[in-house]
Amino acid sequence: MDKALVPGVGTGAAGTGAEANAAAGAVTGTGGAPLLQVERLSKRFPVAGRRGSWLHAVDDLSFHIRAGESFGLVGESGCGKSTLVRLLARLLDPTEGRIVFEGRDLAELGSAGFARRPERALIQMVFQDPTDSLNPRFTARDTIREPCLLLAGMDRAAADARVDEVAAQVGLPLELLSRFPHQLSGGQKARVGIARALAPRPRLLILDEPTAALDVSVQAVVLQLLDRLRRELGLTTLFVSHDLNVVRLLTDRVAVMYLGRIAEMGDSAQVFAEPSHPYTQALLSAIPGHGPRIRLTGEVSSPIDPPPQVCRFASRCPQVHDRCSREAPQLHPGPRQDAGPRPGSGLAPGPAPTPGPDGVPTQLAACHVARYGVRWPVPVLMAD
C-alpha cells in the first residue's frame, strides 16, 4: 500500500497552562493557518451517586490539524478517543476549551443546533459499523442524497448527480444504489457510508475505526480506497483506530492517548520507529513481530477526580520515577538515548531530538523519563 506523506500536524498537550499551549503550537512542521485548532479542550462527566465527583474523559488537550494532513489517534479502550471524536464532530458539548474550525469557534455553537449550521456540511464522519450507521428504510441512493439536500442545499436533480459522482469515486456500481442495506455486503455498505460522508464536500473527514466491523479480507480494500480518496481529493482526515499498523501506514502524524491526555505525539514514522514514552513502547510491543512484549503491571489510575500533580501512567509505568508522583509531565522534547541520566535526577539534561526542517522537534512526549532515538524494529505487516 502506498503511503502518501503530507506535511505534519499540530500536537496535543498533556498538561495545563502556557506550557501545554506552547507545545501544541511548536510541533507543526509547516506554515500556514490550521484548518482545525483545538485549545485546552476538556470534557468531564458527573459521576452518578458521587456528588461533586467528575470523570475526566478528555483533559485539557490542545492540538491543530492543517489542511491536507492525515492525523492518527490511537490508544487503548477508555482513553478518551471516542469522546474526543464526538466533541470535534459537534455531537457533544465540551466542558471547557475551544474548537476553532476555519477561524470560527464551534464550541460556542451548541451541539443540538449544530446540525442546522452551514459548518455541519464541512465536518463529516465515517462511522465504525457501516450496518448500524445506515437507515434500513433508505436505499443507498437515499442515504447518499440526504446530506446533499439537507446540508449542501442542492435541489433533487443536483443531488442525484452528486450521488452518481461520489458513487463512482468510491467504486460503488450505480445498479447498487437502488438497494437497501440488508441487500448489500459489508464492503458495499462501507462504501455507502464513505460516499455519504463525501457527498456534501467536507473539509474535515473523521474516520472512527472505519474498518473495525469488516472482514479482514475487506479491510485492506477499504483502507486502500480511503488512502486514495484522501490523496486525490486533498482531504484532511482524523483517523482513529486500534490497528496500530494501519495508523502507521495511513497517517502523517500520530497522537497516543492515555486516560484523557496525549502521552506522545510526532511524525508517524518516527514515533513507530523510535517510541519515547514508556506507554507508547508497551503499546507498540503488542504488534506481532514488533520486538519483545512489554507487559504492564499495576492498576490503571482512576479517571474520576485524578490528582493534577500525578502522571496518569505512573501506576503502570515500568520506568516510574519519584518525580512522576510530584509533577504531572508536559509534552516536551526530551534527551537522546545517549544523554546519560534521567531528567529529574539533578543532573544536566542531554541533547534534544534532532529538529525538523522548520527548526522545531518532530516528536514530543509527556514523560519525565522519555528517551528519544531508541530504534525499534518496524516489520512490513501489510503488503504494498
Cβ(255)–Cβ(63) under 8 Å? yes
State if pTM tops 0.85.
no
Q: How far is CA 186 from CA 165, 182, 194, in A?
A: 21, 9, 12
From 270, 256, 362, select the one nearest 23 (Cα to Cα).
362
Does residue 15 contact residue 364 with C-beta atoms inside 8 Å? no
The cell for 282 is: 508497551
CB of 95 closer than 8 Å to CB of 55: no
pLDDT digit string (tens) for the chain, length 384 residues: 444 322 233 333 333 344 444 444 444 344 456 899 999 999 999 999 899 999 999 999 988 898 999 999 999 999 999 999 999 999 999 999 999 999 999 999 989 889 889 899 999 999 988 899 999 999 999 999 999 999 999 999 999 999 999 999 999 999 999 999 999 999 999 999 999 999 999 999 999 999 888 888 899 999 999 999 999 999 999 999 988 888 988 999 999 999 999 999 989 988 998 888 999 999 998 888 777 889 999 999 999 999 999 999 999 999 888 889 999 998 877 555 544 444 443 434 444 555 555 455 678 889 988 766 655 544 433 333
> Which cell is 279 given?
506507554
For 130, which DSSP code? T
CA distances from 114 to 87, 92, 196 (A): 12, 10, 18
CB 65 within 8 A of CB 236: yes
For residue 207 the three cell numbers come to 474516520
The cell for 178 is 437502488
- The alpha carbon of residue 112 and the mean position of all alpha carbons in its chain are separated, in whole angstroms, by 24
**DSSP states of 151-182:** TS---HHHHHHHHHHHHHHHT--GGGTT--GG
